[in-house]
Amino acid sequence: MSSTRLTRRGALLASACWLVAGRALAQKNTRVLLPSAQLSFQKLEKITAYFNQQVASGKIAGANLLIQRHAIPIYSRSFGKTDVTTREPMRPEAIFRLHSLSKPITSVSAMLLIDEGRMNLDDPLAQYIPAFANAKVGVEGKSDNGEPILTLEPVHRPITIRDLLRHSSGITYGFYGKSMVRSAYANAALFAPSMDNAELAEKIASLPLAEQPGEVWDYGHSTDVLGRVIEVVSGKSLYDFQKARLFGQLGMADTAYYVADPAKYPLIANALPSDSDFRTGHEPDPKIAPKYQSGGGGLLSTTGDLARFCQMILNGGSLDGTLYLKPDTFSAMVQDQVVPRGPVRKGDYYFPGDGFGFGLGFAIRSEQGQFSSPGSPGELKWDGAGGEYFWVDRQQDMFVILLMQSPSERGRIHADLKAMVYDAFENPLGR
């Protein structure tokens, strides 16, 4: 049987499974669609007008947008400029900083090693980076004179590889929030360009954890540490491993930690000068090879490369006849780990958003939610600080990729885009 027929057969099976859950959500007045729903190309053109207006009004410099369904690109457009200062027009092959959209790619990279039996989800992190054997949890309190103090307490159990993948390690970020632990991260110079992945992991291991391992979803450097684990297990740099085991095989030729070919410099997309604060603690030059290959935020890529990755995820871990993730491995990645379906509770900053849980590298739509955006049960998604965004709708056998560089406009544009995409379907349930 051809890989195309296998893909379509898998899509139909997935659609049948998710339709049951879809009917349950429809009873709550969520706009859920039949797997046979058709997209109106006329309605999709509202998206074109919308993004042209975002460019014309000076909200964004430019963007690339792809909607692919049943393994066929049904909407692909480029808008605006890659750089308003050079006036270089946006092209489909433009290269974007992915920021945190790097995380699901690094998570899949780690799962390749899980699949091969070279490490296990419940292995202690200290097995690969011994400095984490001394991890302590920072607990805020008051001294006798009322001054805030940070007390270090032993961990209840070791950090595991699973914790890194689901952001329950207690490792946090220092560029948002005001706790004493976050301040310690902010003051630790974790983005110093002189550090490599090994040095970064050692430095993070010396900092207090924000929570006990395995208890709270807390967004931070977990995926950066996971990148170092990949290096230890594989014996290669993070990029060399990803290039050999994922990028090269998938055909992601332009996905890397910097742009090595000067001829491609004009393809690097940049934010508007007035909207270039990505608030991530650092913004490395994409033309310079970094010592620190950030698995959590350092990749650059293109719409075409991400389409290969998203189609593989949509297929359940395979593409063009090649199996990248075994069915059990993929199932583990898309199993919700957040209360009430899993053991991890939501932290104060829960970025998956209303209606979403989290698996091993992806947010997962698990319920309607009070303020949830349109979509289908089981949707997988993630995004980055500049507005880089994808979601994979397995019920509709569809994924959507938006690449842009606009930290201030991303939330609004993501919500508008999802509304327009699902409004373009013609036979919703539950109306």
Asked if 253 and 308 count as a contact pair (C-beta separation under 8 A), the reply is: no
When mean pLDDT is compared across 11-15, 93-97, 325-329, 415-419, the lowest value belongs to: 11-15
Higher per-residue confidence, 236 vs 279: 236
CA distance linking residue 138 with residue 184, whole number of Å: 10
Per-residue burial over 107-142, b if 16 or more Cβ lie within 10 Å, else e, is bbbbbbbbbeeebebebbbbbbbeebeebebbbeee
Domain of 130, CATH number, reads 1.20.58
Query: Are 402 and 358 contained in the same domain?
Result: yes
Peptide bond into 89 cis (omega under 30): no
Query: Are 49 and 168 contained in the same domain?
Result: no
**pLDDT number for residue 12:** 37
Please state the φ and ψ torsions of residue 64, each to the nearest 5 degrees. Answer: -120, 135
Query: Are 276 and 416 contained in the same domain?
Result: yes
Query: Are 297 and 267 contained in the same domain?
Result: yes
> pLDDT band at residue 358, thresholds of 50, 70 and 90?
very high
Hey, which residues does 300 pair with through a beta bridge? 97, 256
Query: Are 386 and 276 contained in the same domain?
Result: yes
Asked if 102 and 298 count as a contact pair (C-beta separation under 8 A), the reply is: yes
Query: Are 258 and 246 contained in the same domain?
Result: yes
**pLDDT number for residue 105:** 98
Q: Over the chain, what is the mean pLDDT?
A: 91
Query: Are 398 and 252 contained in the same domain?
Result: yes
DSSP assignment of 271-283: --GGG----SS--
DSSP assignment of 252-277: -TT-BSS---GGGGGGB----GGG--
Query: Are 129 and 98 contained in the same domain?
Result: no
**pLDDT number for residue 382:** 98
- Mean predicted confidence (pLDDT) in 170-187: 94
Higher per-residue confidence, 282 vs 59: 59
**pLDDT number for residue 32:** 57
Asked if 222 and 167 count as a contact pair (C-beta separation under 8 A), the reply is: yes
Query: Are 98 and 154 contained in the same domain?
Result: no
Query: Are 296 and 217 contained in the same domain?
Result: no
Domain of 90, CATH number, reads 3.40.710.10
CB half-sphere exposure, 329, CA atoms < 13 A:
21
When mean pLDDT is compared across 95-99, 145-149, 352-356, 414-418, the lowest value belongs to: 145-149
Asked if 68 and 310 count as a contact pair (C-beta separation under 8 A), the reply is: yes
Query: Are 395 and 254 contained in the same domain?
Result: yes
Q: What SS3 state is found at 322?
A: strand
How many domains does one find in the chain? 2
**pLDDT number for residue 144:** 84
Q: Measured on CA atoms in the order 171, 174, 179, 183, is the torsion positive or negative?
A: positive
Of 322, 267, 259, 422, which Cα lies nearest the Cα of 115? 322
**pLDDT number for residue 9:** 39
Query: Are 74 and 209 contained in the same domain?
Result: no
pLDDT tens across 326-357, in order? Answer: 999 999 999 999 999 999 999 999 999 999 99
- Mean predicted confidence (pLDDT) in 397-403: 98
Structural domain harbouring 354: 3-109+237-429
**pLDDT number for residue 357:** 97
When mean pLDDT is compared across 29-38, 50-59, 86-95, the lowest value belongs to: 29-38
**pLDDT number for residue 30:** 47
- The domain boundary, picked from 234, 255, 273, lies at 234
**pLDDT number for residue 282:** 75
Whole-angstrom CA distances from 368 to 255, 333, 354, 355, 387 are 34, 21, 8, 5, 23
- The domain boundary, picked from 234, 249, 280, lies at 234
- The domain boundary, picked from 234, 262, 289, lies at 234
DSSP assignment of 98-157: -GGGHHHHHHHHHHHHHHTTSS-TTSBGGGTSGGGGG-EEEEEEE-TTS-EEEEEEE-SS
Higher per-residue confidence, 8 vs 136: 136
pLDDT tens across 140-178, in order? Answer: 998 888 888 999 999 999 999 999 999 999 999 999 888
pLDDT tens across 242-252, in order? Answer: 999 999 999 99
For the entire predicted model, the pTM comes to: 0.91
